[in-house]
Structure 1
Amino acid sequence: MTAPKNAARTVWEALESGAALQPGAPAIGGERPLDYRSLLTTTRMLAAALQRAGIEPGDRVALLHRNAPLFLVWTFACAGVGAVLVPLNYRLSAAEIRDVLEDSRTRMLVAEDCFRELAESAGSGVDLQFVGLSANDPPFGLPLETDALHGFVAHASEEDDVAHLYYTSGTTGKPKGVPLTQRNVVQHALAAITELDLANDDLWGHVAPMFHLADAWATIAITLAGGCHVFLPDFDGRAALALFEESGVTVSNLVPTMLQRMLAAAPAAGFDGGSLRLVLSGGAPISPAAVAAVLDTFHCEYVQTYGLTETSPYLTLGILEPRHREESEERQLARRSRTGRPFETVELDVIDEGGRSVPRDDRTVGEIVARGSTITPGYWNRPAETKAAFRGGWFHTGDLATIDAEGWVNIVDRKKDMILTGGENVYSIEVENALYSHPAVLECAAYGAPSTEWGEEVRAAVVLRDGIERTEGLEAELREHCAERLARYKLPRAFVFMRELPKTGSGKIAKRLLR
C-alpha cells in the first residue's frame, strides 16, 4: 500500500505522479485493461491530437458520455493541453444542453454514439467542433499518432487556471456554471487521499455518473494515489454488485437511491461485501437503520458525505474517531447518519441571520458557511450570484444545520426547502427521517404545498419498496407512524405515492418539480 510522495499541483501532474508510482500497475480494469504506462502514453497522444485540432489553453471541451475509460482519458487529455473540461449531464434535454454549450462558449463537443442525435440537436447553431465516438470513428474520437509523442509538451497550467466547469444540478432553478481551478481539484484529491486512506491497492468502482462531482473527484484522487478504476455505464443494482464482486472493488460512492437498490439486490445475488472496505454516500439523508443495513450487508466501513459542486465537492465527512467507537451501537449508528465534521481543506461555521456563529449545542439552527482551498472562486460569468454567495469572506451554502461541540454538523434542510406552516418552521429532513424508519418506504421527499389555511402544508411523496402495494390501510399506517415521531404540525397532510421521485443529474431529489 503506497501513497503519492510528491504533491501534484495540477490535474496533469496528478496523472504523471500516479503513473510514476508503479508504471506497470493497473490503471483501468475490466475487459480492456490499461496499466499506468499505457494510460499516460494514450493520454499524451490524445492531448497531442487536441492540439492538432486547434484546442488551446482555456478552451472549453464538453463531454457527453456515460461512465467509461474514455471519460478518464479525455479528462486528463484536456488537462494536458490546458483545456477546460465541461462534463455534460446526458439526462438533460437538447435545449438544456444547448444552454450549457452557449453559456460556457464550448469549442469542442465530444459525444458517445448513443447520444449523437442529442448532441447534434444541442449543438445545432452553436459555433463548435463536433467529435463523435462510434465504431466508425477513431477509438478516442480523434486520430492518435505515435509520432506526435516526440513533439508533445504538456501545457504548464497555473494553480489558479480553471480545470473543470460544472453546471449545478438545478435543485433551486436554472443551472449555473461552477468553475473549479487546478488548485481546487488537486487539493481536494490530496485531502481525500489522506482522509480516506486511498492508496495504490484501491480499486474504485465508477457507478454514480462521472459527469457529477459525487464520483468525478475520484477520477483525480484514485489516479494520483496510483489506484485502479472500473466503470459501470448504466446503473442497475445487480450489475453494480456483479462489478464489485468480479473486479474486486474496494471503494465507491453511491447516491442513496443506488445504495438502497444494491442492498435490496444483495441477498439474491449472494453478495456479502466482496473486497469492499469503504462505501461513501451523500446527497440525501440516510437513517440509522439504513446505515446498519450497509454495515450488515456489505461488511465494510460507511462514511456519510456532504458537499456541493461549488466545494469540489466535500465539505464534511462522517468519519468516526477511535473515541466514537467506544460509544453504544445505537449512538454510533446515529453519528454515522449525521452530516459529519469538516473536510481537511475546509474551515466551516454555522451562522445566524446576523452572521454570528450559532451556539455549538446541536440544537440551534443556522446556515453552513465555508472557506478553503477547494472552494470555487465564483460562478461562471455571473458576478451578481457570486457576490450573493460569497459574503464576509465565506461561501454561503444555503443549507441549514446544527453544530455540536466537536464541530460535527447535521443538516436539517435547504433554506429553500424549509416549510413554513401556521407560523411554524418544519424541516423536511425531520419528516423524511420519520418516514424512512418505516419498512415499506424506499424513498421519500417532504415538501411544502400552498394552503389557504396554513400558508403552506406538509406533503410527502413516497416510493414504496418492491412488492408492497399502496392501500388505505398502509396510508393510515404511515400517518400513525409519523404521528408517533413528529409534532402534530409537522405531520404530512397528504401522501403522494410515486413509482420514482424526480431527480437531478447527481441523483438528488428535485423538490421544485414536486411542488
Structure 2
Amino acid sequence: MIPTKLIPRTAEASEPPLLIKSLLAQSLKYEPQREIVYRDLFRMNYVEFNQRVRRLANVLAELGVKPGDTVAVLDWDSHRYLECFFGVTSAGAILHTVNVRLSPAQILYTMNHAEDKVVLIHEDFLPILTAIKDQLTTVDKFVVLSDKVYGETAPDVLSGIADYFSGEYEALLKEASSDYDFPDFDENTWATTFYTTGTTGNPKGVYFSHRQLFMHTMGLLTYIIGYEAMPFKGSTDVYMPITPMFHVHAWGFPFLATMMSAKQVYPGRYEPELLLKLLIKEGVTLSHCVPTILNMLVSSPAAQKFRDNLSRWKVLIGGSALTKGLAQAATDLGITVMSGYGMSETAPVMAVGYLNEQEQQLPKEDQLELRTRAGRISPFIEMRLMDDEGNFVPHDGHSLGEIVARGPWLTQGYYNDPERGAELWKGGWLHTGDVASISPDYWVMIADRTKDVIKTGGEWVSSLDMENILSQVEGVAESAVIGLPDARWGERPHALIVQKPGYNLTAEAIKSGLKDQVERGELHKWYVPDRILFVPEIPKTSVGKIDKKRIRSEMKEQILTS
C-alpha cells in the first residue's frame, strides 16, 4: 500500500453502511404500486411486500432468531423466497439458500455445516426433512411453506416433524406486526451462504457480506441498465427468473429488480407450459437461465404456439456455454439471447455480452458468434489470464490461460475450510479453473474448464468448441463431449448426443459430415470424436450444468465392457 492522505472526518458526520436493507428501501420511493406475482396464485404490490418482509423479521424474532443465526430456506422460486432475501438478511441473520437438488445426505451435511437454526421449508420437500431430521444438530424449529393456503384445502403437515413444527408461513405472517425497524450494522456482516459441489469432497460453503451483495447489485445496475448490455427498464420491463433462487441468489437479479421496484414474476416449480403462460400473461421481458432450461422451452410445442409473443423476451444465459445451435433456435423464435459468465464464488456475474455500436451493425451471423461468447468483462471486475507457472498471459484474443479475477463482490473463501479457500485465492487472485482467451476489447472466450480440456496428440481440444460444432448439426438437440484415456494419443474425444424428435441420426453420418469439414480445412482432424453415443438425456448437475464427471465415469465403463 502506498502512503495516502485520508479525508478529515467531522465527529458528528455519518456514513451509512452498504446494507441489503438499503436496496429494499428504494422499492417504496418511486413505483410502490408495481406488482410481484407468484404463479397464478398470488400477487401484491411493493407496499404490501415491504410489510410482509417486516412481518417475516418479527416472525423470526419470535422463533428466537438473533443476529448472526442462520436461517435455511427450501422452496421453489417464490415471493416467499424473495421476502427471505430481504427479511432474514436485513435483520442481521444469515440466509442459507439450500440446494434442494442435492442428495438428502448432502443436504444434511450443508445444514449441519452451516449451523442452521430455523428452517423454512416448502411442503414438497417435507419427505427429505423427515428422513434427515433426527441427524440435524443445530435446527430447533421448522416453518412450513404451503401453496394450498391459496386454495380451499388447508396445508398438510407431516406428523414426523410435529415436535419441531412452528407453524405455516402465511398464518405466522398474518399474526405478526408489520412494524419492524431494521438496524444498522457493519456492512461486512455475513449475509448469505450456500453450498457448491465440486468433483471431490463435501460441498463447499460460499458466503457473502452485505457490502459484497450491495456492490454486486451496483455492478448489475451499471452494466445491465447503464450500458444496456441486456436492457432492463423498470418502467416497461418485467423480470422472471428461471434460475433457481438457491443458485447464487438467482444471479443477484432479485436484488436489482426489487431496488428498481420493477414488476417481478416468480414461477415456482419449473414447468414449460406454465413458464410460457406466465411469460405471455404477465408480459415478461427479461429472464436468465442455464442452456438446459432454454433448450427445454424452445423445444416445447407450446413455444411454436406462442412464437409471436416472444419477440420482447431477453434471456441471459450462464452456467454452461450457449451453443450457436441453441442460440439460433432461440433467435428463430424472436428471443434475444446473450451469454454471461461467473461462478458461485463470484456472486456470480463477472462478464455479460455487450454489443457496442460497431458490433450492432454486423451481420446477424457475426452477432450470433459474439452473443455465444462468455461476455465482456463487467464494470469493477479485474480479470487476467494466468499460465501454470503463475505468469500473466496477454489479452490478444488467442493466447490461453486460466481466468483469475479480483473485484468488490468475490467471496473471501469457504466456510470452515481454510485449505480450499487458500487454494481458491492462491497468489492474491481468485482462480476460476476456466481456460480462456481475452481479446484486446475485453471479450472473454471460454475454451474449457481446466479439467475438461481434451489433451490429444499433443494438442489441446476444447470440449465446448466440439459441443458448439455438434449443436449445429441438423437434428441434434443437445450434446456433451468428454476426453477419455487413449494409449496412442493420450486422450480422445467421445460424445453423447440427444436427437430432436423425428430424426434418425447415425454416428457414421455425423462423423462423415465432420470429416468433410476437416477436408475443406474448416476443422482440425482432432475435432472428430472417436465414439458417439445417442442417449435420451444428458446427465446434469443439481444446477442444470452438464455433469462431465458422471459422463466420464459412465462412458469409460461402457467402453471397458463393450
Question: How does the TM-score come out when normalised to structure 1?
Answer: 0.92
- Residue 3 of structure 1 corresponds to none
Q: Secondary structure at the match of 1:85?
A: strand
* 463 and 268 in structure 1: CA distance in 2 versus 1, 3 angstrom threshold: same
1:47 and 2:57 correspond: yes
Kept in 1: contact 2:70–2:114 (CA 8 A):
yes
Deviation at 1:213, TM superposition (A): 2.3
1:313 and 2:348 correspond: yes
1: CA distance between counterparts of 2:249 and 2:456? 33
- Residue 200 of structure 1 corresponds to 234
Deviation at 1:488, TM superposition (A): 2.4
Kept in 1: contact 2:325–2:468 (CA 8 A):
no
Which of 1 and 2 has greater Rg?
2
- Residue 213 of structure 2 corresponds to 185
Which of 446, 468, 473 lines up with 1:433 in the alignment? Answer: 468
1: CA distance between counterparts of 2:71 and 2:502? 45
* 430 and 173 in structure 1: CA distance in 2 versus 1, 3 angstrom threshold: farther
* 292 and 187 in structure 1: CA distance in 2 versus 1, 3 angstrom threshold: same
2: CA distance between counterparts of 1:231 and 1:497? 35
Deviates more, 1:418-427 or 1:317-326: 418-427
* 216 and 467 in structure 1: CA distance in 2 versus 1, 3 angstrom threshold: same
Deviation at 1:173, TM superposition (A): 5.7
Q: Which amino acid aligns with 1:293?
A: A
1:381 and 2:410 correspond: no
Q: Which amino acid aligns with 1:133?
A: L
Q: Secondary structure at the match of 2:341?
A: strand
Which of 120, 129, 138 lines up with 1:119 in the alignment? Answer: 129
Q: Which amino acid aligns with 2:113?
A: D
1: CA distance between counterparts of 2:536 and 2:17? 46
Which of 212, 217, 232 lines up with 2:267 in the alignment? Answer: 232
Deviates more, 1:262-271 or 1:488-497: 262-271
- Residue 58 of structure 1 corresponds to 68
- Residue 296 of structure 1 corresponds to 332
- Residue 195 of structure 2 corresponds to 167
Kept in 2: contact 1:251–1:277 (CA 8 A):
yes
Deviation per CA, 1:102-135: give whole Å up to 9, x if none: 1111112221101101022233221202222242
Which of 93, 113, 116 lines up with 1:83 in the alignment? Answer: 93
Q: Following superposition of structure 1 onto structure 2, how do residues 11-22 of structure 1 map, counting pairs within 5 Å?
A: 11-22=20-31
Q: Which amino acid aligns with 2:211?
A: R
1:132 and 2:139 correspond: no
Q: Secondary structure at the match of 1:416?
A: coil
1: CA distance between counterparts of 2:22 and 2:55? 16
Unaligned runs of 5+ in 1: 1-5
1: CA distance between counterparts of 2:398 and 2:80? 47
Kept in 2: contact 1:431–1:486 (CA 8 A):
no
Deviation at 1:22, TM superposition (A): 2.3
- Residue 229 of structure 2 corresponds to none
2: CA distance between counterparts of 1:133 and 1:177? 25
- Residue 161 of structure 2 corresponds to none
Deviation at 1:371, TM superposition (A): 0.6
Kept in 2: contact 1:11–1:79 (CA 8 A):
yes
- Residue 491 of structure 1 corresponds to 528
Kept in 1: contact 2:251–2:348 (CA 8 A):
no
Kept in 1: contact 2:241–2:289 (CA 8 A):
no
1: CA distance between counterparts of 2:261 and 2:200? 37
1: CA distance between counterparts of 2:271 and 2:156? 28
Q: Secondary structure at the match of 2:27?
A: helix
1:143 and 2:175 correspond: no
1: CA distance between counterparts of 2:212 and 2:197? 19
- Residue 285 of structure 1 corresponds to 321
Deviation per CA, 1:314-349: give whole Å up to 9, x if none: 111111011111223322211111111111231111
Kept in 1: contact 2:276–2:303 (CA 8 A):
no
Q: Which amino acid aligns with 1:26?
A: E
- Residue 375 of structure 2 corresponds to 340
Kept in 2: contact 1:8–1:186 (CA 8 A):
no
1: CA distance between counterparts of 2:168 and 2:234? 27
- Residue 414 of structure 1 corresponds to 449
- Residue 25 of structure 1 corresponds to 34
Q: Secondary structure at the match of 1:186?
A: helix
Q: Secondary structure at the match of 2:307?
A: coil
Q: Secondary structure at the match of 1:21?
A: coil
Kept in 2: contact 1:212–1:505 (CA 8 A):
no
Deviates more, 1:16-25 or 1:136-145: 136-145
Deviation at 1:36, TM superposition (A): 0.6
* 136 and 207 in structure 1: CA distance in 2 versus 1, 3 angstrom threshold: same
Kept in 2: contact 1:308–1:314 (CA 8 A):
yes
Kept in 1: contact 2:17–2:184 (CA 8 A):
no
Q: Which amino acid aligns with 1:64?
A: L
Deviation at 1:358, TM superposition (A): 1.6
Q: Which amino acid aligns with 1:505?
A: S
2: CA distance between counterparts of 1:181 and 1:305? 23
Kept in 1: contact 2:24–2:259 (CA 8 A):
yes
Deviates more, 1:315-324 or 1:418-427: 418-427
Q: Secondary structure at the match of 1:33?
A: strand
1: CA distance between counterparts of 2:365 and 2:233? 31
1: CA distance between counterparts of 2:271 and 2:476? 19
2: CA distance between counterparts of 1:441 and 1:283? 21
- Residue 8 of structure 2 corresponds to none
Aligned residues: 505
Kept in 2: contact 1:434–1:486 (CA 8 A):
no
Deviation at 1:26, TM superposition (A): 1.7
Q: Which amino acid aligns with 2:89?
A: A
* 214 and 237 in structure 1: CA distance in 2 versus 1, 3 angstrom threshold: farther
How large is the Cα RMSD of the aligned pairs?
A: 2.3
Deviation at 1:307, TM superposition (A): 0.6
2: CA distance between counterparts of 1:422 and 1:274? 45
1:153 and 2:181 correspond: yes
Q: Which amino acid aligns with 2:172?
A: P
Q: Secondary structure at the match of 1:222?
A: helix
Q: Following superposition of structure 1 onto structure 2, how do residues 443-462 of structure 1 map, counting pairs within 5 Å?
A: 443-462=478-497
- Residue 256 of structure 1 corresponds to 291
* 147 and 121 in structure 1: CA distance in 2 versus 1, 3 angstrom threshold: closer
2: CA distance between counterparts of 1:368 and 1:104? 29
Q: Following superposition of structure 1 onto structure 2, how do residues 338-417 of structure 1 map, counting pairs within 5 Å?
A: 338-417=373-452
Deviates more, 1:140-149 or 1:163-172: 140-149
2: CA distance between counterparts of 1:391 and 1:267? 46
2: CA distance between counterparts of 1:488 and 1:123? 55
Q: Which amino acid aligns with 1:131?
A: V
- Residue 312 of structure 2 corresponds to 276
Kept in 1: contact 2:324–2:471 (CA 8 A):
no
Q: Secondary structure at the match of 2:77?
A: coil
- Residue 478 of structure 1 corresponds to 510
* 248 and 207 in structure 1: CA distance in 2 versus 1, 3 angstrom threshold: same
Deviation at 1:207, TM superposition (A): 2.2
Question: How does the TM-score come out when normalised to structure 2?
Answer: 0.85
Kept in 2: contact 1:367–1:400 (CA 8 A):
yes
Deviation at 1:54, TM superposition (A): 0.8
* 239 and 482 in structure 1: CA distance in 2 versus 1, 3 angstrom threshold: farther
Q: Secondary structure at the match of 1:109?
A: strand
* 42 and 100 in structure 1: CA distance in 2 versus 1, 3 angstrom threshold: same
* 146 and 114 in structure 1: CA distance in 2 versus 1, 3 angstrom threshold: closer
Deviation at 1:384, TM superposition (A): 0.8
Which of 315, 322, 331 lines up with 2:366 in the alignment? Answer: 331
- Residue 544 of structure 2 corresponds to 507
Q: Secondary structure at the match of 1:486?
A: coil
1: CA distance between counterparts of 2:170 and 2:541? 28
Kept in 1: contact 2:108–2:135 (CA 8 A):
no
